[in-house]
Amino acid sequence: MVEEASGLALEPSMDRDNMLSCENNSDVWDFDGNRNPEGQHVTDHSNSPMADGISLTAVKPIVNKVKDHDGQDISLVENTNLPAELYAQHFDECNSKKKRTLLSLSKEATKNVQRRGKKDEAHANFVDLKGLLLGSANAVGQGDMKWAMESLQRVQKEGASPHGSGLQRAVYYFSEALMVRISGMGNTFYRAIANTTQLPSPLMMIKAYKMMFEACPYVKIGYHFANQYILKAASGASCLHIIDYGILYGFQWPCLLYALAHREGGPPFVRITGIEFPPSVCDMNPTATTEGTSCRLREYCKTYNVPFEYHAISTSKWEDIDASLLSISENEVLVLNSFNRLDHIHDEVVAHPSPRDQLLKQMLRLKPHLLVMGSMNAGHSSPFFAPRFREAFYYYSNMFDVLHTTIMNDSPERLMFERELMGRAILNVVACEGTERVELPETYKQWQMRMERVGFQQLPIIPSVWQASKSLMMGYHKDFNLLHESNKWLLVGWRGRTMQAMSAWRPQKIQ
């Protein structure tokens, strides 16, 4: 049996005996959270290798190698695994004497991080950078640009820095974005960055995701949640069709594919339709997403003898995708999946009728067996600038605090993640308006109302998923918290603030 307490790769046997089965166990549940009255066989993959993001030493197809900045080999096929576990395993194997402690900090290293930033953070708090920044944003909202500029200049002079404490870094990126907004060139500036800035290589992006995967449980818990629901929905199916809205690098799927490959009776035929924005919208190199994702997943399925078909759709209007393009068959289990990407679909604030509601209605018409989604629990989609700025600052300052507490200050992956991902998102929220604004997250309670309004019914949390999620949390910092609401929403947060929400849905039953 696979045990995970530290979040690092373990080395259990790959025998099928390690695949936990409920066949002779009375604890068998259906999607309604009830015991299966007929005692039908249901395979529980909650502790299966790869099903929850655990990469095993025995799982190492090495092809298409490239070099990282230390000259070490890194497999692009291995990158299709959830990257944190894979890289931790690979680096340890390649150089056991030089184990990377950058992302999995020891207690002493954590203390060093805290001591190093303590002096600067104390100075930042004394100056009240947060108060000055929020005051400047309020002035912008009221049209007092002169006072706002004076306040921002003091903020930047008194300690805002991309290399300081978590608070100083958050204030730095928000003050820079606020400067752009004051200039009146927000949309133009954001488009220019998207079209001209040299983006990090796919390898660097994978390393950044690896860093976040090890430091923060949001992605690992989210992938585990979704994959377990999909495994149960596909139990006994001969064909599984997953439509992934926002597939990007496809990090979620190798773990699921591996679990399906070791399913009793063999794997089903797996079809994945990956939907993504064009490069101009998502700021990504198309080769790094659409083509790269296809190649990596095909290689992975070939390695584990999973019959596989991949279809890519690139469009900025997901709500307008015709059902005929999805090639849905009646004899397949249809699953819709999206992890933190529906937030990028415009809502009723930007356009009418709401593209977001139109997309959900289109999903409902597909009559899926299951819809699983992850969403940021954030409220900065308001059309009013001051409250939008405030909510965004609270959310992202929490994220900067996570990184400051769990990752070394000088980590190049951290700096790149903060600049290229968080920094761009902050710029979009603060400086852009109209259709150019694409960072439009909602709270999980807002999502619940929206989903139920269009005709979806929420599924309860599977008990084994809840228990496994609690076990996975043991490998992360003690200030992360996990809870559920009404046994339906799986919520993950940091120091009392809920940051990530996971849920599962199906079309409402007609009475």
pLDDT in tens, 150-177: 999 999 888 899 999 999 999 999 999 9
Phi, psi torsion values for 410, nearest 5 degrees: -95, 15
**pLDDT exceeds 90 at position 64:** no
Task: Report the CATH superfamily, name and number, of domain 215-379+477-507.
Answer: Vaccinia Virus protein VP39 (3.40.50.150)
Higher pLDDT, 511 or 479: 479
**pLDDT exceeds 90 at position 15:** no
Structure tokens at 144: 């007092």
Least confident of 16-20, 309-313, 370-374, 473-477: 16-20
How confident is the model over 99-115, as a mean pLDDT? Answer: 42
**Per-position b or e across 100-137, b if 16+ CB within 10 A of its CB:** eebbbbeeeeeeebeeebeebbeebeebebbebbbbbb
Span 409-433, pLDDT tens digits: 999 999 999 998 999 999 999 999 9
Enter the pTM of the model: 0.77
- What is d(CA 362, CA 364) in angstroms, rounded to the nearest whole number? 5
Number of residues that make up the chain: 511
How confident is the model over 3-30, as a mean pLDDT? Answer: 34
pLDDT class for 197, splitting at 50, 70, 90? low
List C-alpha distances in Å: 350 to 178, 248, 354: 21, 24, 8
Structure tokens at 105: 């900090």
How confident is the model over 181-209, as a mean pLDDT? Answer: 82
Would you kindly state where each structural domain of the chain is located, as residue ranges? Answer: 107-201+383-436, 215-379+477-507
Q: Where does residue 419 fall: left (phi above 0), alpha (psi -120 to 50 degrees), or beta otherwise?
A: alpha
Q: Which of 183, 161, 159 is nearest to 172 (CA)?
A: 161
DSSP state for residue 298 in the 8-state scheme: H
How confident is the model over 438-463, as a mean pLDDT? Answer: 96
**pLDDT exceeds 60 at position 49:** no
CB atoms within 10 A of CB 442: 22
Distance of CA 66 to the CA centre of its chain: 25
- What is d(CA 60, CA 496) in angstroms, rounded to the nearest whole number? 38
Q: Which of 487, 493, 60 is nearest to 254 (CA)?
A: 60
**What pLDDT sits at residue 464?**
94
Q: Is the dihedral of CA 316, 318, 321, 325 positive or negative?
A: positive
